[in-house]
Structure 1
């Protein structure tokens, strides 16, 4: 089990209700805590899209963290969100309605590993943390190429590594590093060749380094707790008992070592975006 897969699995298969609710909360917290990063990303994409996009497709939208950011960044655009999970799409629709954005949003339930539904040509395609879940990423990108108008832009974003939250001291930083190593988080994939094979021309590739320190957004503690708890649930038998006990203390204690009371939490990760154009 790869740590990055634990964080974002909204398109790869249907989930039961409890898992869907938990994933929805995690994705919403990600949107809240990393709002500044996402605004920087959409602003950068805005400089690469000329004219500004009128129709945007969010491929594997989940709860719509990207969808809503795109609607905010491109106020003239209409966005279509596609996802396998009807629960996720319903969650997104409710959020868009609450924000007064529902009239610019369409949702489509679709398995992007199979034939895609008929869609109006898009000016901008957004695929965030979804490409690596596809059973055939090359076929996915060929379909994406066909869904994009000539001159349009495809933005693929992937997490280089799962966020790190604990301080760098030997005891806590060490156990978090061992947790990630035990879950076999491999090196980040470079999608440049895949995009080129599908017919795209790479416009830019940009890593976004996220390094949030105190004072953190108010939701950061909950974000760290849920994220680490998901990783911990896969760690039995992969870490020494002493490490598991320390993780349990950090996750569940109301004392000074517990996440709810820690003042030294961080949010450290890197996400890379490939911006590629259809000629």
Structure 2
């Protein structure tokens, strides 16, 4: 990718597209993404270190970059690389640019606002494409896989990172008056996602093969942090469970809603921020696929 073409995809018009924002609560989502990056930084770094790159990439594309957890980890892993960071959210891209500037990396990050279910922007010919927790949101993921295959440089690598599910934070016997509350919330959330996000939890291996890739690696990252929780873990749990409540409140019993609201009330003695038994438990699957 030439110097000129890199700047051709820089999102100079990001501040003019707020009217097209798709997510009504991007502020909450951005906070969760930032906390996810902070709490799970070591695990994200372990994924980038594992990637079986054939040669050190000079140009990387991050599809669905969010607020930049993957982008910044990839820049640290490959200090000679530049990243084209793609997302539909203007506010997420703004936040990514802020973080890149704080770290002195602004000249290596080129943001691109695009809806990948519509027309694709010109992203050049990267040697590495990264898609973390974004593929399952695609309306036609098979089409997206073919697009990535055709975009990649020969011998280039495509890394697909997907969540096994949202993190768990509470012990199984918590809270004391409604044991198993978190699992019931997640069961309701999983049912909702099964109806609306049908590709969540998909096995991307066969799909990658069908798109012309050779799958060279598959890894499961198991996360189990704490206790005792850090301040960031407490805020991560609070923000994440607030988001879960927004999605499943109508599916819960009145007793479960009351118990959940007590946990989410930061002024309550039962607040999740006052618990010393929080953990972060989750899994991520990583597929590393090469274009022949």
Provide TM-score, normalisation by structure 2.
0.86
**In 2, Cα distance between equivalents of 1:15 and 1:173:** 36
**For residues 162 and 155 of structure 1, what CA distance do their matches in structure 2 show?**
20
Paired residues, what number? 264
**Matching of residue 76 in structure 1 with residue 89 in structure 2:** no
1:199 is the counterpart of 2:212: yes
* 2:42 alignment partner in structure 1: 36
Partners in 2 of 1:233 and 1:120 — Cα distance?
39
State the distance in 2 between where 1:240 and 1:70 align: 43
How does 1:178-197 map onto structure 2 within 5 Å? Answer: 178-183=184-189, 184=191, 188-197=201-210
Secondary structure at the counterpart of residue 237 of structure 1: helix
Mapped partners of 2:183, 2:279: distance in 1: 14
Whole-angstrom distance in 2 between the partners of 1:42 and 1:217: 24
CA distance in 1, matches of 2:28, 2:22: 10
Runs of 4+ in 1 over 4 A off after TM superposition: 170-173
| Alignment partners' CA distance in 2, 1:192 and 1:136 | 16
Tell me if structure 1 keeps the 8 A contact 2:21–2:90: no
Structure 1: stretches of 5+ with no match in the other structure? 1-12
Deviation at 1:255, TM superposition (A): 4.4
Contact 1:254/1:261 (8 A) holds in 2: no
Q: What is residue 139 of structure 1 aligned with on the other side? A: 143
Is the 1:166–1:173 contact (alpha carbons within 8 Å) kept by the matching residues of 2?
no
Aligned runs of 1:92-171 on 2, under 5 Å? 92-169=96-173, 171=176
Q: Which residue of 1 aligns with 2:58?
A: 54
- State the partner residue of 1:9: none
Q: Deviations over 1:114-166 (max 9, x none)?
A: 22112221111000011000000000010001110111100001101110011
Structure 1 counterpart of 2:241, from 228, 232, 238: 228
TM-score by length of 1: 0.90
Match of 1:213 among 197, 222, 226: 226
CA shift at 1:111, angstroms? 1.1
Q: Secondary structure of the equivalent of 2:248?
A: coil
- Asked whether the 8 Å contact 1:151–1:278 carries over to 2, the reply is yes
